[in-house]
Structure 1
């Protein structure tokens, strides 16, 4: 290891604080963090020159691959003009263009107004605050509760954290946020008492990410939309992870022809280049904020509608068209499905595989089907072992997440799955 890398590791351990990380283990003398320094396509390179497939798209963000020339060029061209200007009291051309293009995916519907923010948590936070404020100032002041689904994850800001169904992350904070009730299905939602007090229902459509890649039953989203409309409840879709092609369509809700009241976007919005989020809202909800100063939505961020972020997002949307991403995606989805089934059939350690488009999870258990003890951290160890075979990804408990950039080719998909097979064998042994 060269001197520069040693200094980088020293600085990190002494001065940095990583997300979702046991810092005492991270800063231990024997732990050597993996320093990532380059990217090209679906490949990442560390400070020692080792290359890895980016198997979780840099925490579910990257879409078209790293160092994409079209997105690079768009950012550089924007940088030559101006990097950032305030969106509070001012405007710029690319924000309006991006909002128009997003509305174009729902042409002919009311989902046409976009509020920009910084990340997935704030996209959700906006939707929650908008839903409550709309109710309060439009003669529905009793509708101040939310319903979410068990084991869900919608972000870490305080409002979004109130929706969180994962106790390890959220139980200590829940009492400080919005009133939320949790259900496991639409049937449980329908059976709740006091639905007249519910402002909105929040869900990740088609597949829950942090819930070990839990795939919802076919038709569930359509049923949920019909019921919420019948009850006058807002449907808030969290497409922070599922948006921008992950499920095989631009947005997961399009699989069942569902148009929500709020659509929350982030991660892949800029192709995985820059932090940026969008909360799309039905025009009738937007109109509920028109009038005097007391009806305005007083919420925002310093980098709202970032000029660089808008440039990257517009370029990313163009790449979808230029590279015929969706046309090329279906064979990859089929290949991934076949490879996942081969892994399931070929290893007694693989209890289940779950897939929705290019989102997949490989759940590991003991050979008798019993879960591993959480303290064993088997999923985490398998992911570390996969590095030796040229793959970076993360586990959710003992479910290995498979979510590469959409730009991955078929040979790289095969390499990715072979790396997971080898890592399982390394850590757990043969069948």
Structure 2
């Protein structure tokens, strides 16, 4: 049995069937913006491995950080011990983060960082003598992860988790913001959320939201004023604001963090994905001093969460090197150039009968079709065209590594146009 046959028979891949799995392509290497297949193709990566590999593959600085750390020690428990890689990455995170965030809880994945954020919010209010504030409010079309608390704040209808609805904590959902980025903000957007706050603020612990871009819930890019109003409502009604920057953080939207478009700071913020430049899994939940101290008032006096691989030194070393690259600020010109080229080329797809909408922000390009696409067929087309793009539902989208060249980006956009013709 060859590798692909074994994989198809025995290995489960994300969001696919064990009965009729989507095709998989075996990778033997990756460098720069290219993924190398066992069958010889070299594919321009349009996905940054799900938003993460922003510096490209086999980056010398990230490779060096991994090699240097693994020669010292790859892991020690974080309970009662600390180390320089964790301290370095946390110092850099707080230096970059929006104003007011002063504490860092290191986690092993984006979903876990959301779990941590929600637990922080709930424990904060319980320790203030307000256990009645135990619900989370969020806009529809959101996506925050696949673990149980994270699933409870994903869109209950259009999300991927309706099968588990009877097991999930019931939360409150507002209609998704409708005013797109760049349009004139409509006051009608915020009214349903205002009504929810007015009616339920006594039981609301937190509002969780993806700043400016709702990712896996539909790749929707909304007006910054909506996020600004979210901050105002949280302040007015004494509710914590959680910004899920796992996908939007570290420059992807054209700002270092998505919430900067609205010039606001959250009480709690989740980051992940690009944190290590796509090398390995690491995430973080940051919070204000008020939240950190409030969580630890009264019983039990500690925050009850502790992943086995919390603060993994190998991941932290690579993350610190990745943040060093971001701190050089080359990403700004890179993302601006990607955005300009996407805005110049991707709207050509609007002339195609299959296409409903085109959206661009920063290093994100989205083509929405009228009907769900045939993923397997499109993937075959893309591989044949020498690109790696992973569509889902009605969306064919790209978020390439920041180091992509204009020629390579053209190959991506041309491939999308051709595939949807």
Fold shared by both chains (TM-score > 0.5): yes
Partner of 1:332: 338
What is the RMSD of the two structures over their aligned residues, measured on CA atoms?
Answer: 1.7
Q: In the TM superposition, what is the alpha-carbon distance from 1:52 to its structure 2 partner? A: 0.7
Q: TM-score, normalising length from structure 2?
A: 0.92
1:124-143 mapped onto 2 (5 Å cutoff): 124-143=114-133
| C-alpha contact (below 8 Å) 1:63/1:405 kept by paired residues | yes
Partner of 2:20: 25
Structure 1 Cα separation of the partners of residues 205 and 390 of structure 2: 35
SS at match of 2:270: strand
Partner of 2:191: 187
Q: In the TM superposition, what is the alpha-carbon distance from 1:266 to its structure 2 partner? A: 0.8
1:293 to 1:180, Cα distance in 2 relative to 1, 3 A: closer
Structure 1 Cα separation of the partners of residues 119 and 307 of structure 2: 14
Q: In the TM superposition, what is the alpha-carbon distance from 1:335 to its structure 2 partner? A: 0.9
Partner of 2:49: 58
1:74-223 mapped onto 2 (5 Å cutoff): 74-106=65-97, 109-167=99-157, 169-184=160-175, 185=177, 186-192=190-196, 193-223=199-229
Partner of 1:342: 348
| C-alpha contact (below 8 Å) 1:119/1:266 kept by paired residues | yes
Aligned length: 405
Structure 2 Cα separation of the partners of residues 380 and 358 of structure 1: 25
Structure 2 Cα separation of the partners of residues 151 and 265 of structure 1: 19
1:4-23 mapped onto 2 (5 Å cutoff): 7-23=2-18
1:123 to 1:166, Cα distance in 2 relative to 1, 3 A: same
| Unpaired stretches in structure 1, ≥5 consecutive residues | 1-5, 366-371, 426-431
Partner of 1:3: none
SS at match of 2:2: helix
1:163 to 1:380, Cα distance in 2 relative to 1, 3 A: farther
| C-alpha contact (below 8 Å) 1:245/1:251 kept by paired residues | yes
Structure 1 Cα separation of the partners of residues 388 and 154 of structure 2: 26
Q: TM-score, normalising length from structure 1?
A: 0.90
Q: Deviations over 1:141-200 (max 9, x none)?
A: 110001111121110111111111154521222332333011114321111222221001
Q: Does residue 299 of structure 2 align to residue 309 of structure 1?
A: no
Partner of 1:265: 271
Q: In the TM superposition, what is the alpha-carbon distance from 1:396 to its structure 2 partner? A: 2.5
Structure 1 Cα separation of the partners of residues 342 and 280 of structure 2: 28
Partner of 1:364: 369
1:233-312 mapped onto 2 (5 Å cutoff): 233-290=239-296, 294-312=300-318
| C-alpha contact (below 8 Å) 2:27/2:35 kept by paired residues | yes
SS at match of 2:76: coil
Q: Deviations over 1:29-61 (max 9, x none)?
A: xx7531112111111011111011111111221
Partner of 1:429: none
Q: Deviations over 1:67-100 (max 9, x none)?
A: 0011000110011111011101111112122111
Structure 2 Cα separation of the partners of residues 310 and 218 of structure 1: 32
SS at match of 1:219: helix
Structure 2 Cα separation of the partners of residues 215 and 289 of structure 1: 33
| Unpaired stretches in structure 2, ≥5 consecutive residues | 178-189
Structure 2 Cα separation of the partners of residues 235 and 323 of structure 1: 28
Q: Does residue 235 of structure 2 align to residue 229 of structure 1?
A: yes
Structure 2 Cα separation of the partners of residues 34 and 22 of structure 1: 16
Structure 1 Cα separation of the partners of residues 279 and 295 of structure 2: 32
